[in-house]
Amino acid sequence: MRVKKLLHTRMRVSDMDRTIAFYRDVLGLDVLERHTSPRGSHLAFLSVPNSEALIELCSFPPSGPVKVQEDLVHLAFEVEDLDDTIAQLTAAGVPITDGPTRSSSGSRFLFIDAPDGYEIELIERPPGTAPA
């Protein structure tokens, strides 16, 4: 067997509206669909610019609070200009949890936290650099 492509990644969240606001207002993602599953999970699918893969947010309060283990998983997004990104994050009151750091390839990156503690990496790559 060989898979064809990545369709979506599911992340369980505590507060759907707060989490959607973060991904929409801070990162600029679009909400494509929101609905409730037959078992009662609240679902939202977010689109990422220049990508076919979606992020699926899932809130299921009967499961209890979401506890994200440190360094277990993160999402990485490319940004055009890291200095501009830092200014926008600062203006929005979003704390930078690590960085900015320059890699040996010349890329620069930083980390922020989404609601529930999911780590988000924002990367500025020099022109012509292969994806990391």
Tell me the catalytic residues: 121
Distance CA 41, CA 20 (A): 15
H helices, E strands: number in the chain: 2, 8
Q: Residue 6: how many CB atoms within 10 A of its CB?
A: 10
**Which amino acid, one-letter code, is at 21?**
A
Tokens of 41: 């999970």
- H or E element that contains 122: strand 119-124
